[in-house]
Structure 1
Amino acid sequence: MARDHGYARYRLDGCRCYTCGWARSEYDANRERAMAYGTWQPWVDAEPVRVHIRHLQSCEMGLRAIAAAAEVDRKRLQSILNGRPERGTAPQEKVRPALAAAIGAVEPTWENLAPSTLISPVGTRRRARALVAVGWPQQHLAAHLGMTPSNFGDMLTREHVLVRRAVAVRSMYDALWRTDPADHGATPRWITGARTRAAAAGWAPVGAWDDDTIDDPASFPDWTGSCGTPSGANAHYRMGTPVCQPCRTARNEAKAVRKVAA
């Protein structure tokens, strides 16, 4: 992937276009200004960078993947971690601020992990089950993913899921959550069957999940718009849905407070 035009492309790729030349002149001007005011820091401590690299490694990111995400040479990461034993050099004590920033910006997102990495299935299960809850038959979802219905069902019960499968399910969820399964060939009987199965299993529908927390194991679906509050249980009764655990807890806590007050 070609770098965007700017200082890095000027220095690393030898581009001499107007944009790259301007970026180089701006860099030089800023550096000279910082040096004049005594704020120029051409080097920073490498230890926080080293700690971050190890954190990424603990999340199943290899040096090659980290280097690709940071757009740096893998050997630079090796020098920070272990030095260059073949040259008799110890791990780096200082690194350039730009390098530290580039590595520090890398996060162990699904896109940065190897496709075969095993991860928590929580978000994948919730997305697939939410689609079933709004009427998507499992055989349709399996076909969308290029899976057999039996493999799709197994995916919903496994302890881990492959990153590539999690990404595929997330993409499917984003594409289908606002659509009507009837418009995609699902018969009324299949749609009703999917909803009935989801209701019996207690699977939360699409509208109950927040995109920002659906992958968080500690989060819970908001079935009523007030789940987790004392009024949530009554909202469940009005909607005809089973009372969720957060609403039961909130109701019991409210009863305990009223009992003490009495």
Structure 2
Amino acid sequence: MSTRPHGYARYRLDGCRCYVCGYAVAQYNDAREHAIRRGTWQPFVDAAPVREHLLRLRACSLGLRSIAAAAQVDRKRLQAILTSRTDHGIGPQEQVRPALAAAVLRVEPTLDNLGGATPIDATGTHRRLTALISGGWPQAHLAPRIGMTEGNFGATLTRPKVLVRTARAARTVYDDLWCADPRKHGVGAQAYSRARRHALAREWAPVGAWDDDTIDDPAAFPDWTGQCGTPAGYTAHRRLGGPACQPCRNARAAA
């Protein structure tokens, strides 16, 4: 018994002649005839861009099984695009259906689909963890939450790359604690103040300075004052009692 959902594929591949499958075929044929009359019928597209994209994804440590799951296609169809089908004496598939190409090209490497041991840029992890420290969370409290010792935690803040599993853990901790008061979660007053002074001395931006859309962007700067990057931002920094950020220093110099 086929587990394929009722529709065009089940009609063609499994011989199902139910109403749903028949209607799907009728719709397909009607759309095909209209496209042929308009001169827009394109049953296949070049597989080369799809193959190049698959190779880029695999270079990011994404396996074919994970890519197929993200694109919601059969893994064997991706394998045929990538490798020579020696059993049949032919090379990789040169043409694919447009829907398959579009589905694969939409897949991008993310924290959710990369392997846990994949090294990635540490920018977002550093910013999330240092923002929490700026908010009064001591490293000794944060380290166990991401599965580290305090020593390893400090070293992580200086490394250019982290493993995906570390980045995921840091993201989870940040989402859980960004608006929490450390003093209401077991952090003493001295440890709280020490963490804030430690962050201020290193000019680590607080949670409110980062936007969710830019916190992972290495080219982005934190907006400490709501006016950063303008001459007024420099003055706002002085009112807050902290050093001016680089965009504010640049804006003041330009003015």
TM over 0.5, yes or no?
yes
Please give the secondary structure, in 2, of the residue aligned with 1:214.
coil
How many matched pairs? 253
Q: Matched residues in 1 for 2:171 and 2:69: separation?
A: 23
**Deviation readout 1:57-109 (Å, 9 max, x if unpaired):** 33332333322322323332232123313321122221011111110110011
Range with greater deviation from structure 2 (34-43 or 165-174):
34-43
Does residue 55 (structure 1) correspond to residue 61 (structure 2)? The answer is no
Q: Matched residues in 1 for 2:10 and 2:104: separation?
A: 18
User: 1:221 Cα shift?
Assistant: 0.8
Does residue 222 (structure 1) correspond to residue 223 (structure 2)? The answer is yes
Q: Matched residues in 1 for 2:119 and 2:132: separation?
A: 23
Identity %: 61
Mapping 1:159-178, distance limit 5 Å: 159-178=160-179
Aligned alpha-carbon RMSD (Å): 2.7
Q: Matched residues in 1 for 2:216 and 2:206: separation?
A: 15
1:30 aligned partner: 31
- Maintained 8 Å contact 2:135/2:196: yes
- Maintained 8 Å contact 2:237/2:244: yes
Please give the secondary structure, in 2, of the residue aligned with 1:89.
coil
Q: Matched residues in 2 for 1:233 and 1:13: separation?
A: 70
2:118 aligned partner: 117
Please give the secondary structure, in 2, of the residue aligned with 1:242.
coil
**Deviation readout 1:14-56 (Å, 9 max, x if unpaired):** 9999877765654444334334443222111112212221222
Please give the secondary structure, in 1, of the residue aligned with 2:131.
helix
User: 1:173 Cα shift?
Assistant: 0.7
1:92 aligned partner: 93
1:157 aligned partner: 158
**Deviation readout 1:164-188 (Å, 9 max, x if unpaired):** 1101111111111111112211122
Q: Matched residues in 2 for 1:232 and 1:244: separation?
A: 9
Q: Matched residues in 1 for 2:89 and 2:65: separation?
A: 23
Please give the secondary structure, in 2, of the residue aligned with 1:110.
coil
Q: Matched residues in 1 for 2:198 and 2:14: separation?
A: 58
- Maintained 8 Å contact 2:128/2:170: yes
User: 1:150 Cα shift?
Assistant: 1.8
- Maintained 8 Å contact 1:65/1:114: no
AA matched with 2:129: A
Please give the secondary structure, in 2, of the residue aligned with 1:161.
strand
User: 1:249 Cα shift?
Assistant: 1.4
User: 1:6 Cα shift?
Assistant: 6.8
User: 1:154 Cα shift?
Assistant: 1.9
Does residue 65 (structure 1) correspond to residue 66 (structure 2)? The answer is yes
The 1:235–1:13 alpha-carbon spacing in structure 2 relative to 1, beyond 3 Å, is farther
1:102 aligned partner: 103
The 1:29–1:180 alpha-carbon spacing in structure 2 relative to 1, beyond 3 Å, is farther
Q: Matched residues in 1 for 2:229 and 2:5: separation?
A: 47
1:143 aligned partner: 144
Does residue 197 (structure 1) correspond to residue 192 (structure 2)? The answer is no
- Maintained 8 Å contact 2:62/2:113: yes
Q: Matched residues in 1 for 2:199 and 2:128: separation?
A: 12
Segments of structure 1 that go 5 or more residues without pairing to the other structure are 255-262
- Maintained 8 Å contact 2:233/2:248: yes
The 1:164–1:7 alpha-carbon spacing in structure 2 relative to 1, beyond 3 Å, is farther
Report the TM-score when normalising by structure 2. Answer: 0.87
Please give the secondary structure, in 2, of the residue aligned with 1:231.
helix
User: 1:191 Cα shift?
Assistant: 1.1
1:258 aligned partner: none
AA matched with 1:170: R
- Maintained 8 Å contact 1:78/1:84: no
Q: Matched residues in 1 for 2:13 and 2:188: separation?
A: 58
